[in-house]
Amino acid sequence: MAEFNINISEIKKFVSKLKAGDRVLLNGTVYTSRDAAHKRIFQLLDSGEKLPFNLDGACIYFAGPTPTPDGMVIGSCGPTTASRMDVYSPRLLDLGLAAMIGKGERNKAVCDAIVRNKAVYFCAIGGAGALYAKQIKACEEIAFKDLGCESVKRLELKDFPVIVAIDSHGGNLFK
């Protein structure tokens, strides 16, 4: 297993080098999106409207941060169960999504789409949201404010620790 320090803007350059089990420190921009936001994103896609962020080369973090305490950039921001987004992920990957961060296994359709699109699925540790919040240096709500914690947010990460769970070659920590 290898260790990498990757800027998300360059994720496509690294994807082929990453193997299931590798440890990665992520830096740069990711977008939060969970169930309700994914549903809205699909409504925009289906109606031909502009998305709140460019999918090409993007990374989505399946998270719904808690309210921000005074003096902090963000509240607790741990991963949510990724399988709830399995119905949405293949299409997003086919449209250019390069990486996802969540917790837990993914279904066969998602695994196939990861390989087909040379993407990657990272796992973050559940229950460590307060620690992960310390690696988030900026947070801006960019879409669906009415969804509260499930709104889409642009996060800036600094040395955010994850593990490669499913790689672009079909390697899968869960198998």
Q: The domain that contains 128 carries what CATH number?
A: 3.20.130.10
Are the CB atoms for 108 and 129 separated by under 8 Å?
Answer: no
Catalogue the active-site residues: 38
Count how many domains the chain has.
1
Please indicate, yes or no, if residue 174 is contained in any of the structural domains. Answer: no
Whether 175 is in a domain gets the answer: no
Range of the domain at 97: 3-166
| Residue 172 counted as domain residue | no
The sign of the dihedral angle between the CA atoms of 125, 32, 77, 137 is positive
Asked whether residue 173 is assigned to any structural domain, the reply reads: no
Would you say residue 98 lies in a domain? yes
Q: How many angstroms from the chain centroid is the CA of residue 96? A: 13
Asked if residue 34 is part of any domain, the answer here is yes
> What is the structure's pLDDT at 1?
77
| Residue 60: predicted pLDDT | 98
| Secondary element (H or E) of residue 153 | strand 152-166
* CA-angle at 92, arms to 90 and 98, nearest 5°: 100
How far is the C-alpha of 87 from the C-alpha of 75, rounded, in Å? 28
How do the pLDDT tens digits run along the chain, 175 residues long?
Answer: 789 999 999 999 999 999 999 999 999 999 999 999 999 999 999 999 999 999 999 999 999 999 999 999 999 999 999 999 999 999 999 999 999 999 999 999 999 999 999 999 999 998 899 999 999 999 999 999 999 999 999 999 999 999 999 999 999 999 9
Of the candidates 139, 10, 2, which has an alpha carbon nearest to the alpha carbon of residue 65?
139
Please indicate, yes or no, whether the overall pTM of this predicted structure exceeds 0.75.
Answer: yes
44 belongs to a structural domain: yes
Specify the pLDDT at position 154.
Answer: 98
Beta strands in 17-145 (DSSP E): 23-32, 59-61, 99-102, 120-123, 136-143
Burial of 1 (0-12, 13-18, 19+ CB in 10 A): exposed
| Strands 152-166 and 136-143, bridge-based pairing | antiparallel
Cα 37 from chain centroid (whole Å): 13
- Residue among 127, 118, 35, 25 at smallest CA distance from 76: 127
- pLDDT attached to residue 91: 98
Q: Which residues pair with 64 in a beta bridge?
A: none
pLDDT of residue 127: 86
User: Residue 98 corresponds to which tokens in the numbers above?
Assistant: 């390069």
Decide: helix, strand or coil at residue 81: strand
In a domain, 124, yes or no: yes
